[in-house]
Amino acid sequence: MLALLVLVPIAVLLLMNLPWRGARSQAYTMGVLALAFAEIFAAIALPALVGVGEIPFLSELRFGLVADDLTRVLLASIGVVVGAAMLVGQESMKDERQRCNFASLLIVSITGMNATVLLSDFFSLYVFIEVTAVASFILIALDRGVLAVEGAFRYLVLSAVATALMLGAVGLMLMSAGDTTFDAVRSGLAGGTSLVRLGLAVFMLGLFIKGGTVPFHAWLPGAYSAAPPAVSVLLSGIVTKASGIYALIRIAWSVYVPDEQISLVLLVVGTVSIIVGAVAAMGQTDLKRMYAYSSISQVGYIVLALGAGTELGVVAATFHLFNHSIFKSLLFVDSAAIESRLGTTDMTRMGGIGGKMPITGTTASIAMLSAAGIPPFAGFWSKLLIIIALWKSAHIGFAVIAVMASMLTLGYFLVMQQKAFFGKPSIEVGAIGEASIGYLVPAIALAAITVLAGVLFPFLLDSSCSFLLLGKALPW
C-alpha cells in the first residue's frame, strides 16, 4: 500500500508525457495539484489506508517501506509545499513548455521525496536523495540564465561532495554491519564496533552538507535566490528538508541511541548555523537571499533540537521542520508575488509595499512572526518545545543561546519589515497593485495553516506528542 506513494507519481508522470492530442499544459498543472492533494490526504488518513490491506500485485515488490508519524508529517509538508509551488509556477511561468517541464520535474521530486521519507535503507536513502537533487539542479537552471546555471552548478558540486561522503559511509556500514538497512546498522551500533559509529558519523556529515548547515552552506543562498520563483518555493519549503534534515531526524529516531559525542556535534552545528544564518541575513539587501540565510538559521534550530538527545527533542525538531516548510514557502510565495509586480527582489527599492499589496504584506508578516517565534503562531510552539527539550536534557547553555538567537531573528525581521513593507513608498512601488489571485491563494492558504497550527497546537499537544512517541517505525 505504501508503495503507491512512490509508484503513482511515476505513473502520473508517464501518463502526462505521452503524446496526447489537445490542450496539454493545463493537464500538467492539474496533475501535480491532484498529486499534492492526494499526498495531504494520504498523510492524514495513512493508518486507515494501510489498514485496508495489501494490493496483490504490490506484495510482490520488496520495497521495504515503513511509515510512522514522522513520515506523515513529512508527507503533509511535501504535499502542501508542492501544491503551493505549482500554483506559483502556474502564475509565474509564461512559457507553456517551461511550465510543463516544471510540472514534470516537480513530480520527479515528489517521487524522490516520498521514497526518502518511506524507506529504511541507507543506500536507498542516497539514491532517492539524489533523485530529488537531480530534479532540483534542473529546476534551478530552468530558465537557463547565467546566474541560475551558476547556482545550480555550485549546488551540484557541493552535493557531489556530500554524496561521496555518504557513499563512503555506506561502504563502512557494509563492512561492519553486513548490510545497509536501518535495522542492520542499529544492531551494529548495539554490538559496539566503532566502525559502525564512524560510518554513521560520516553519513551524517554528508547530510549536514545536503541540508545546508554551516559551514557547508555556501551553495544555498545562490541557489535559492537565482532559481525561478516557483522553484525557490519548492527548494526552501521542502527539498533541503526532505533531503538532508529529515534523514538526520530519522537517524536520530530510528537508528541510533544518542551518545554524548554525536549530540555535541549536533548541538554545535545547530548553534553555529543559527547564529551565522541570523547574522548574515541581517546584512542582505536582496529579499530572497535574506530568506535563504534565514533558512540556514531555522535549520540550525532543527539540528539543535536533535542534539538534545531526547524524544522531546525529536518531536520538537519534527514540528519545527513542518512549521518551517509552511512559513518559509509562504515567504517565498510572497516574494514571488512582489517580484511579479515590482520586477525585482531588491529590498532597497521596495519601500512601502505593505500599503500597495496588503494581502501579500499581511501574509508575509504572519510568516515572519511565526519564524521569529511569536505567539500565537505555530513557530512559537515549536521553538518553545525546542527550548524545553534542551532545558530538560541539561543543555542549559544551548537553550539560552536559542532564546537569544530568537530575539536576533525578531530583530532582523523587524528591520526588514520597516525597510520594505512599511515606510514611504518609493516611486516604483507607487505604480503597482496587489498580486494576482494565483499568488494570493497559496499565500492565504499557507498563512491559514500557520495560524491554525499555532492556535490549535496546545490542544493537540498531548495527542501529537504521544503519536510521535508511540509510532516508533512500525511497519504498517
The residue ranges that bind other proteins (CB under 8 A) are 6-7, 10, 13, 61-65, 95, 97, 101, 104-105, 108, 111-112, 115, 119, 121, 123-124, 127-128, 130-131, 133-135, 137-138, 141-142, 144-146, 149-150, 152-154, 156-157, 160-161, 164, 167-168, 170-172, 174-175, 178-180
| Cα gap 314→141, rounded to integer Å | 35
What is the nearest approach in angstroms of other proteins to the Cβ of residue 428? 27
Cβ closest to other proteins, residue 153 vs residue 391? 153
Note whether 35 and 10 are within 8 A (CB). no
What is the nearest approach in angstroms of other proteins to the Cβ of residue 123? 6
Cβ closest to other proteins, residue 85 vs residue 108? 108
What is the nearest approach in angstroms of other proteins to the Cβ of residue 456? 36
Sign of the torsion angle spanned by Cα atoms 178, 180, 183, 187 = positive
Residue reference for cell 499534492: 36
What is residue 56's DSSP assignment? T
What is the nearest approach in angstroms of other proteins to the Cβ of residue 109? 8
What is the nearest approach in angstroms of other proteins to the Cβ of residue 174? 5
Cβ closest to other proteins, residue 131 vs residue 331? 131
Cβ closest to other proteins, residue 101 vs residue 365? 101
What is residue 377's DSSP assignment? S
What is the nearest approach in angstroms of other proteins to the Cβ of residue 153? 5
Cβ closest to other proteins, residue 135 vs residue 387? 135
| Cα gap 428→430, rounded to integer Å | 5
Residue reference for cell 492526494: 38
3-state DSSP assignment of residue 103: helix
Residue reference for cell 525546542: 386
| Cα gap 427→221, rounded to integer Å | 28
Instruction: Encode 104-115: b = buried (16+ Cβ within 10 Å), e = exposed.
Output: bbbbbbbbbbbb
211, HSE (Cβ side, Cα atoms, 13 Å): 29
Note whether 299 and 211 are within 8 A (CB). yes
Question: Residue 168 burial by CB count (10 A; 0-12/13-18/19+): exposed, middle or buried?
Answer: middle
Cβ closest to other proteins, residue 139 vs residue 353? 139
| Cα gap 204→212, rounded to integer Å | 12
What is the nearest approach in angstroms of other proteins to the Cβ of residue 81? 18
What is the nearest approach in angstroms of other proteins to the Cβ of residue 136? 9
Cβ closest to other proteins, residue 133 vs residue 200? 133
3-state DSSP assignment of residue 346: strand
Cβ closest to other proteins, residue 163 vs residue 406? 163
Question: Residue 434 burial by CB count (10 A; 0-12/13-18/19+): exposed, middle or buried?
Answer: middle
Nearest to 132 by CA among 117, 151, 160, 113: 113
Nearest to 372 by CA among 307, 450, 309, 461: 450
What is the nearest approach in angstroms of other proteins to the Cβ of residue 125? 10
Cβ closest to other proteins, residue 142 vs residue 315? 142
Cβ closest to other proteins, residue 12 vs residue 315? 12
What is the nearest approach in angstroms of other proteins to the Cβ of residue 114? 10
Note whether 209 and 159 are within 8 A (CB). yes
